[in-house]
Amino acid sequence: MSKLIRITDEIYGKLTALKGKESYSSAIKCLLADRGNKDAILSFAGKGGIDMGEMRKLKDEWKLWSKKYAYSEEHKWLSKIVCVL
C-alpha cells in the first residue's frame, strides 16, 4: 500500500541522491533503522566529560590488578577472558 507524503525539493534531492538504485521506501527504511546507541556515544565524544587524570589513574590501577590477578598462575584462566573482552 502506498502513501502520499510531502517533502521539500531540497529533501527530495538529498533522498534521491542517497537512495541510488534502491527504492525510496528502502532508503527511508534504512534511514529510520535503529542504530543502537552509536549516536548517543558520538554526541558525548569531545564534550570534555572525561577527566584525563582519572583515566591515567584507572589505567595504572588496571595494570596493578592485571599483574596481581590476571597473570598469576592461579588466575591464568582469567587472562584468557580479559583478552577476549
Q: How far apart are CA 19 and CA 21, in angstroms?
A: 6
pTM for this entry: 0.39
Please give the Cα distance from 20 to 77 (Å, whole number): 50
Q: Where are the domains of the chain?
A: 1-34, 50-84
Dist CA 50 CA 33 (whole Å): 30
pLDDT at 18 > cutoff 90: no
Rounded CA-CA distance 75/85 in Å is: 16
**Which grid cell sits at 61?**
590501577
Q: What is the per-residue pLDDT for 84?
A: 44
**Average pLDDT of the residues in 44-53:** 72
Q: Is pLDDT of 9 > 90?
A: yes
